[in-house]
Every structure is written in structure tokens, then in C-alpha cells.
């Protein structure tokens, strides 16, 4: 059942008619406001700094990175990578996870609880990247140090960031 339509008091008191629908739509579209979105106010979580919430911007195996458009509140395509990206959320936090034995990626836009295990220093803008594991993934949540990851996983992380920085014409 559709919600009831409430007519603003000003129209009832002054016996004014509603503006035509297309005028109301145009007026609504022309307003300059920042759309509300859960990413803007995502709480860091009660267990921070040990375990913190972060938003997935790129799914495992995807070549497409998404990000929040702050003006509209919508998720937009930010980058398309040359090689296949292998991880989640590489911009601020790279989260390594297996999802309990499944190969299905976490979808962009959802948030996960992460545990930091290392840092990837960036030369260009000094925007170091946090390397983390999913706190709820039994395959990886026992890792506390990036150097304890298998060598091939460390090589994949480095390769991912090299490709990512190449796309932005920046140095790793």
C-alpha cells in the first residue's frame, strides 16, 4: 500500500494548487545539496583501532573500482584497471580475505570489519595504504603481521599497487 500524500499547510491555508509535477521535479533536481549516504558517517566500530569498519570499493577479481560520488550520494565507476585486480578496497585499506572457502567476491558498497596487519608506503603523495585482513574470515583473521603472509600473496599485493599507481601515473 502506498504511503498517504500530505499536502503542505501553505497550500491548504492559501487555497493554492500544487505546482505542476514537472516543475516540482525540476526544482528538486536543481537543488544543490550533498546527498546523504551511509559511507559518509560509517562508524569506525567499537573495537577500533584493533578492528575497524571499512567500505569495499573494488571486488576481488574485478577490473572496475567504484567510489562514492559525494555530490549525488551514488556509487560511480572511478577506474578501470589494465590487469585483473585481486583484492578489496585498495585506495585506503587493502583487505585480504577468502570468504570462508568460497571464491565469491564481496560486492562494492558493503562494509566489512578489518584488522590491520601492515602498511604499504606510497612515495608520491605519502598516502600510505593499510594492509588488512577481514576480521570475520577464519582463513585470514589469524594473521597479525603482513610478513607472515605467503610470499606469493605479498607479490600479488605489490603487483596490484604497481598496476594501480601506473593507472594514476604515480610512483609506488
Q: What is the CATH number of the domain that holds 140?
A: 3.90.80.10
Q: Give the per-residue pLDDT at 29.
A: 46
The residues, ordered by sequence, that sit 6+ positions from 67 with a Cβ below 8 Å of its Cβ are: 57, 75, 76, 78, 91
- Structural domain contains residue 12: no
Q: List pLDDT tens digits, range 137-153.
A: 888 899 999 899 888 88
pTM of full prediction above 0.75: no
User: Where in the sequence is the domain holding 158, given as residue range(s)?
Assistant: 38-167
In a domain? residue 73: yes
Domain contains 46: yes
Show pLDDT as tens, one digit a residue, over the chain (172 residues). 444 445 455 444 444 454 454 454 444 445 444 555 566 667 888 998 888 888 877 777 777 878 877 777 778 888 787 654 444 333 346 677 655 555 667 777 788 898 888 887 777 666 677 888 889 888 889 999 989 988 888 888 888 777 766 766 555 4
Number of domains in the chain: 1
Amino acid at each position: 500500500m502506498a504511503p498517504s500524500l500530505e499536502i503542505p499547510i501553505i497550500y491548504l491555508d492559501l487555497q493554492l494548487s500544487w505546482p505542476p509535477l514537472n516543475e516540482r521535479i525540476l526544482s528538486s533536481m536543481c537543488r544543490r545539496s550533498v546527498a546523504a549516504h551511509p559511507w559518509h558517517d560509517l562508524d569506525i566500530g567499537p573495537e577500533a583501532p584493533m578492528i575497524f569498519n571499512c567500505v569495499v570499493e573494488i571486488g576481488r577479481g574485478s577490473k572496475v573500482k567504484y567510489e562514492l560520488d559525494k555530490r549525488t550520494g551514488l556509487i560511480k565507476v572511478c577506474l578501470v584497471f589494465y590487469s585483473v585486480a585481486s583484492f578489496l578496497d585498495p585506495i585506503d585499506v587493502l583487505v585480504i580475505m577468502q570468504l570462508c572457502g568460497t571464491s565469491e567476491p564481496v560486492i562494492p558498497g558493503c562494509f566489512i570489519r578489518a584488522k590491520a596487519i601492515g602498511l604499504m608506503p606510497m612515495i608520491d603523495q605519502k598516502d600510505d595504504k593499510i594492509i588488512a585482513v577481514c576480521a570475520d574470515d577464519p582463513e585470514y583473521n589469524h594473521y597479525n603481521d603482513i610478513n607472515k603472509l605467503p610470499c606469493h600473496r605479498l607479490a600479488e599485493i605489490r603487483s596490484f599497487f604497481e598496476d594501480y599507481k601506473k593507472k594514476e601515473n604515480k610512483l609506488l
